[in-house]
Chains A and B, each alone.
Chain A
Amino acid sequence: MNKLINSPKTLLADALRGFAAAHGQLSVDFENRIVFSAAPREGRVALVSGGGSGHEPLHSGFVGAGMLDAACAGEIFTSPTPDQILAAAIRVDTGAGVLFVVKNYTGDLLNFEMAAELAREQGIEVASVIVADDVAVEDSTWTAGRRGVGTTLILEKAAGAAAARGWSLEKVHMLAERIADAGRSMGAALTSCTVPAVGKPSFDLPEGEMELGVGIHGEPGRKRVPVMSAAELSHVLAETITTDYDFSGKPVIALLTGLGGTPLIELYAMFAEVSDRLKERNIKVARSLVGNYVTSLDMAGCSLTLVGADDEILDLWDAPVNTPALRWKD
């Protein structure tokens, strides 16, 4: 497997160095592996997220005005550590409190939970929201619960806008919970992914087959099936997601993210099908985003996220944002 790297050991540090070189408006704490915004935000709630690396641009690409204040980068597919998250909270807290945006993976939950305890011991007010939107995982007390995927981006955007408007921590937290509750995702992989330090694909996926309901760390999916056309796959994703949550009567924010190894032209072809499937179900897509936003290294495939929104959430989605990976004006 050819990789454009110096060495697996230095990949994360090298990427952070490149991130700093490319985005001078942001600051990078190399020791703690934190990307943060040093712009003054007196009295405003701060948003801190993070997770294993390998999902770029999530989360570091979403740091900046109107979105995250800091992102903590863990090792590839490994959650960041509590001391790292604490350092991020200390850097960006203005006294108005910090919201942790956490994806539902055991490592992320435990480390953010410890970080929240440490931050509170230092007098920082912390609230946490957990994104668990992957309908491919059966949600039961017998599993670690649903994984967090694409809803994370939509939540970070809207909650970041709310924080920028000066909302209190309690209000930003409630909004975040509302979005987390109303988001559903499901993905499919056409290839596995290769963790550079491992050097071989995380799972074996023969030519001509695909994995439905795959996770973003190379976790296996719901089932292995022969490769489907975009139209066929759109039926499965739309049906599974809309069966799990009632989106009728709500304006929907739709995200179709590539998993890192699928070209944009295929993603748009896929979105055409997804859009038709949603129309057939009388689901109104009010806003949409197509591209590589929540990825899994070099995995080919896509993941569809729908969030049931309302006027307030749409207004927050439309608010200006200026980050490396998401940028628009009024």
Chain B
Amino acid sequence: MPETLTIDAIQQWLNRFASEITTQADWLTELDSAIGDADHGTNMVRGTAAVVAKLDDGSTSTVQELLKAVGMTLVSTVGGASGSLYGTFFLEMGRNSPSSVQLDASELEKALRAGVNGVIARGHAAVGDKTMIDALEPAVTVLSRSLADGRQLHGSIAAAAAAATTGRDSTEPLVARKGRASYLGERSAGHIDPGAASATILVAALAASVGEGIAR
């Protein structure tokens, strides 16, 4: 039987994402104060807390409904560019997920790829622009390659998380080409992109939840 990610594991992923964001909020804000407007931590804490509250109300019964609800919640509570981009990520994941209570490995891969493509289309960003795409794109690429190589979901997601971390760190020397940081030009170099940092937390939280939440 193939490995699957249950709706409970997805909920656990989002709860873990919210608690990790809260833990690292000051760091995210510090990164954002260097090259942005010093509110990324605060905004993400507000948004992910709203997601946790939304999930707790139990109004969603399929993976598709759950992910769409997460997307709409982030869009309406995070604000700014991040709200729209994280919201688009989950809305696109939801649109490309089945109306069932679990995702198998290939369904998860497909949904994540759709989410990342949605972010790329919305923000018109590419790898190297110093954005969350620098963490998300390599993560999904590595996930696909690893699954294609016949590795298990758990190990593949862990590899994706490692790729996100590498991608996040690769933003440090880059000059920003998108968003508010781009106004700084050369002065944006020498700082990790806060969006890439929070996106890495998202993938790491998924890896941790997949480790615990796979139904066999």
- Given A143-B177, A143-B182, A220-B184, decide whether A84 and B76 contact each other with a Cβ distance below 8 A: yes
Interface stretch (choices B7-15, B36-44, B61-69, B98-106): B36-44
Are A81 and B178 closer than 8 Å at their CB atoms? no
B132 within 8 A of A: no
- Given A137-B183, A144-B180, A220-B183, decide whether A74 and B88 contact each other with a Cβ distance below 8 A: no
List which B30-58 residues lie within 8 A (CB) of chain A: 37-39, 42-43
For A, the interface residue count at a CB cutoff of 8 angstroms equals 32
Whole-angstrom CA separation of A141 from B177 in the bound complex:
8
> Across the interface, which residues of B come within 8 angstroms of A82, CB to CB?
75-76, 84, 87
Whole-angstrom CA separation of A113 from B88 in the bound complex:
11
> Across the interface, which residues of A come within 8 angstroms of B75, CB to CB?
81-83, 114
B123 within 8 A of A: yes
Q: Which listed residue, B72, B84, B175, B185, touches A111 by the CB 8 Å rule?
A: B84
Pair count A-B, CB < 8 A: 83
- Given A143-B185, A198-B38, decide whether A106 and B79 contact each other with a Cβ distance below 8 A: no
B122 within 8 A of A: yes
> Across the interface, which residues of B come within 8 angstroms of A110, CB to CB?
81, 84-85, 122-123
Whole-angstrom CA separation of A141 from B126 in the bound complex:
12
- Given A110-B122, A111-B84, A114-B87, decide whether A78 and B183 contact each other with a Cβ distance below 8 A: no
Are A106 and B81 closer than 8 Å at their CB atoms? yes
> Across the interface, which residues of A come within 8 angstroms of B173, CB to CB?
none
19 A-B contacts (beta carbon < 8 Å): A75-B79, A78-B43, A78-B80, A79-B79, A81-B77, A82-B75, A105-B180, A106-B81, A106-B179, A110-B122, A114-B75, A143-B182, A143-B185, A144-B179, A144-B182, A144-B183, A218-B37, A219-B180, A220-B184
B91 to chain A: closest residue by CB: A114
Whole-angstrom CA separation of A46 from B76 in the bound complex:
23
Nearest 4 A/B pairs, CB to CB: A110-B84, A107-B80, A143-B182, A107-B81
Q: Which listed residue, B43, B84, B178, touches A114 by the CB 8 Å rule?
A: B84
A217 within 8 A of B: yes
Interface centre among A74, A81, A114, A147 (most CB of B within 10 A): A81
Are B122 and A113 closer than 8 Å at their CB atoms? yes
A215 within 8 A of B: yes
For B, the interface residue count at a CB cutoff of 8 angstroms equals 30
Rounded to whole Å, the gap between the CB of A124 and the closest CB of chain B is 18
A147 to chain B: closest residue by CB: B183
A77 within 8 A of B: yes
B83 within 8 A of A: yes
A142 within 8 A of B: yes
Known: A81-B75, A110-B122. 8 other contacts (CB 8 A): A78-B39, A81-B77, A83-B76, A84-B76, A106-B180, A107-B79, A143-B185, A215-B183
Are B183 and A81 closer than 8 Å at their CB atoms? no
C-beta contact mask, B73-97 vs A, less than 8 Å → 1, else 0?
0011101111111011000000000
Q: Which listed residue, B77, B178, B185, touches A106 by the CB 8 Å rule?
A: B178
C-beta contact mask, A55-92 vs B, less than 8 Å → 1, else 0?
00000000000000000001101111111100000000
> Across the interface, which residues of B come within 8 angstroms of A220, CB to CB?
183-184, 187
C-beta contact mask, A102-140 vs B, less than 8 Å → 1, else 0?
000111001101100000000000000000000001100
Whole-angstrom CA separation of A144 from B180 in the bound complex:
7
